Amino acid sequence: MPGALGSIWTDFKPQIEQFDREKFTLVAWDPPGYGKSRPPNKKFDDKTLFYENDANYANKLMKALQLPKYSLLGWSDGGITSMICAAKFPDAVHKMVIWGSNSFILPHEVDLYKNVKDVSKWSKRMREPMEQVYGDFFAQYWAEWVDGMVALFEAKDGNICSEVLKDIKCPTLILYGEKDPMVDNVHASHLHTHIQGSRLHLYPEGKHNIHLKYAEDFNKRVQEFLLQ
């Protein structure tokens, strides 16, 4: 499950190309409103309901593919959707891997969102893959996501899905880059503490995209966890 506005190929190319296809069936998607799963565009003004809707759609997709039992890999926003999915459908979710994810928003993280709202200030390397997906609409779409996160913080005191963590029963691997500029390190320890029996692995020099930066180690670690 990709991050905010992410799609199959912008977010998971090393995983799709390098996972052992003899041992795994990979199902990657553009969530409703993202990538090629549009129109319509996603609305970010429903105070986290879009995360729950995506969790429901994901489970329905797997049923339609006749894969009633599956594991989840979720990055950033996709990790939030994964946690909700695992909590809502415990009989369907075998294992879960999440990274760069959070179940609530801290005040200084809202400031970070606001600081990256204007995509014209992004580096060309960060901006181009998303512009290839969304064209000129990307700037407006990203601004809508930021506004949605700010509204969510104000409406729910920063809570996204902390109340569902106690309902997650599947074996869970949490990975975190300790230099992540977008997700405070308190989130990794919070998830590890509140998701029963979860494991935590840290990348000391990692940032938000550890699965891309450390793809070989990430892929090996995740596949071993899923096969255990």
Identified catalytic residue from 11, 30, 71, 76: 76
Q: Which two tokens stand for residue 209?
A: 């995209």
Closest CA relative to residue 178, chosen from 154, 200, 150: 200
Closest CA relative to residue 215, chosen from 19, 27, 1: 19
Q: Is the pLDDT of residue 11 over 90?
A: yes
Identified catalytic residue from 187, 201, 208, 211: 208
* Helix/strand/coil for 139: helix
Percent of the chain having pLDDT more than 70? 99
Examine the residue annotation and report whether 208 is marked as an active-site residue of this protein.
yes
Identified catalytic residue from 71, 77, 180, 201: 180
Distance in angstroms (rounded) separating the CA atoms of residues 168 and 115: 33
Distance in angstroms (rounded) separating the CA atoms of residues 87 and 134: 32
b/e per residue, 111-133, with b = 16+ CB within 10 A?
A: ebbeeebebeeeeeeebebbeeb
pLDDT at 48: 66
Q: Which domains does the chain have, with CATH numbers?
A: 8-104+159-227 (3.40.50.1820)
Confidence (pTM): 0.97
Q: Is the pLDDT of residue 46 over 80?
A: no
- Cβ proximity of 149 and 80 under 8 Å: no
Examine the residue annotation and report whether 45 is marked as an active-site residue of this protein.
no
